[in-house]
Chain A
Amino acid sequence: MPLVYDGDAQAFEVIFDRHGDAAFSLAYRMCGRRSTAEDVVQEAFVSLWRSGAAYDRARGSVRSWVLGVVRNRAIDLFRRESVRTGRDVNAEGLVEQMHASDDTEDTVERREDAQQIRAALQELPPDQRQVIELAYFGGFSHSQIASMLELAPGTVKGRMRLGLTKLRIALGGPSGAVI
């Protein structure tokens, strides 16, 4: 990151190589359209390039920082253009799976983490998983979700809390495998 801070394009290329797949996967998950996801990721990385100095190590990993910007860009887009093709949060719509032959030790570890997180999400009661996914991947506020699902806002917030608590227990157990 110090090199990116100094405006080193090659260092930035490394950042893209490390996190571009995750960024695209998140954008694709949120937007549901390949071309839209590409636009979101491009906007996000250009924004990151301009604001490289804004990365604060104390607030999380570079990956979290990158993915946070991608998510914000996608939500900006939703608001701007009412693009919500990713609204069906259960639709997977895989187009290009990553190939095992490309795996490195890092990507294997990441895949194992991903499997653990997916499993933990799947273990949640559907109503809790639904509100978490609508909020995180859909960019909806709790009151919007309450309106969509015809629930009281307090019910939505309660489900979010229960769901995140269960996820934390599932992911951050004694082994602290993921978080």
Chain B
Amino acid sequence: MGAEMSDGDTASDTRGCGGEVAAYALGALDPAEVDTFRRHLETCSVCRDELAAFESVVRVLPLSTPAHRAPAELRRNVMHAIASEPKSAPAARTATRRAPTRWRLPRPALGLAAALAVAAAAFVGINAAGSGTPATRIIHAQVTGQGSAELRLSGDHGELVVNHFSPPPTGQIYEVWLKRGTGSPKSIGLLFSPTAAGQANVDVPGSLHGVSLVMVTPEPAGGSPRPTHSAVISAPLT
């Protein structure tokens, strides 16, 4: 199982770094620690070995749960739900990852959103997901603070994928907004919080046809009818 050594690898646990490995394998590092630890992993073969060992344990932990039969109704509901999903070409469900870009949306963001959307287009990667896959676009969203976010567009459907992103402030939650043309951002009642590892996969319901900007703001728990904070994620579609 040994991890391959590379230039610059440390061959021993001289920094006491092993203390982070188990928490990382369990998804229990705080978001701010995840990036640091991942950078450390690149240069520490000891931690890579230990992580591989721990991940093999963590993978089987779900098997320790008492076994229940999934209700037949659940199976029917799942199959019904996917039947109503657009049956996109395989390439349309393929995504590629790009390095995140960062910017800060100023406080009076809402009034300036349209202008920012245009300006941001110059900084945002809008890519087909590899050769021969024109149906998928990956839009690298602008993120305030740490982490990255991308909007994966398959036809009119969008999925917001967030990585290494900070949790919302205590008592708040992230809310997704859609902006069409020069109109105000509209809530679609979509709330989320990233996992402890800072990850979230958020399916944006409905069509994004005509949407010029997908944005995320921290809002009071339960959501808000209109944005009350500056955007922390902003993905211009134009």
Q: Is the CB of A179 within 8 A of B59?
A: yes
Q: Using known A-B contacts A16-B75, A16-B78, determine if residue A54 contacts B95 with beta carbons closer than 8 Å.
A: yes
What residues make up the interface of B, taking CB atoms closer than 8 Å to A?
18-23, 25-30, 53-54, 56-71, 73-75, 77-79, 81-83, 85, 87-90, 93-95, 154, 157, 159, 167, 173, 191-196, 199-201, 203, 221
Chain A residue nearest to B67 in the complex (CB): A98
Sort A-B residue pairs by CB-CB distance and give the 3 closest, nearest first.
A79-B193, A24-B70, A160-B22
Q: Is the CB of B78 within 8 A of A9?
A: no
Report Cα–Cα, A7/B89, bound state, in Å: 7
Q: Is the CB of A71 within 8 A of B85?
A: no
Interface string of A77-97 (1 = CB under 8 A from B): 001101000000000111111
Q: Is the CB of B69 within 8 A of A96?
A: yes
Report Cα–Cα, A179/B52, bound state, in Å: 11
Contacting residues, chain A, for B57 (C-beta < 8 A): 164, 167-168, 171-172, 179
CB distance from B134 to the nearest CB of A (A): 15
Contacting residues, chain A, for B194 (C-beta < 8 A): 76, 79
Contacting residues, chain A, for B85 (C-beta < 8 A): 46, 49-50
Contacts A71-B62, A172-B53 given; 11 further ones with Cβ under 8 A?
Answer: A38-B71, A41-B78, A50-B203, A76-B192, A76-B193, A157-B20, A158-B19, A160-B23, A164-B57, A168-B56, A179-B59
Interface string of A29-45 (1 = CB under 8 A from B): 10000100010011001
Q: Is the CB of B79 within 8 A of A29?
A: no
Contacting residues, chain B, for A45 (C-beta < 8 A): 78, 81-82
Report Cα–Cα, A75/B201, bound state, in Å: 12
CB distance from B31 to the nearest CB of A (A): 8
CB distance from B61 to the nearest CB of A (A): 5
Q: Using known A-B contacts A160-B23, A179-B59, determine if residue A25 contacts B67 with beta carbons closer than 8 Å.
A: yes
Which of chain A's residues 48-64 have a Cβ closer than 8 Å to chain B? Answer: 49-54, 60-61, 64
Q: Is the CB of B28 within 8 A of A53?
A: no
Chain A residue nearest to B221 in the complex (CB): A82
Q: Using known A-B contacts A5-B90, A167-B57, determine if residue A94 contacts B68 with beta carbons closer than 8 Å.
A: yes
Q: List 30 A-B contacts (CB under 8 A).
A: A12-B79, A16-B75, A16-B79, A20-B70, A21-B68, A25-B66, A41-B74, A45-B82, A46-B81, A51-B159, A72-B201, A75-B195, A76-B200, A80-B173, A96-B68, A98-B68, A113-B63, A114-B64, A114-B67, A137-B61, A140-B28, A141-B23, A142-B30, A154-B19, A160-B23, A161-B23, A164-B54, A164-B58, A178-B63, A179-B56
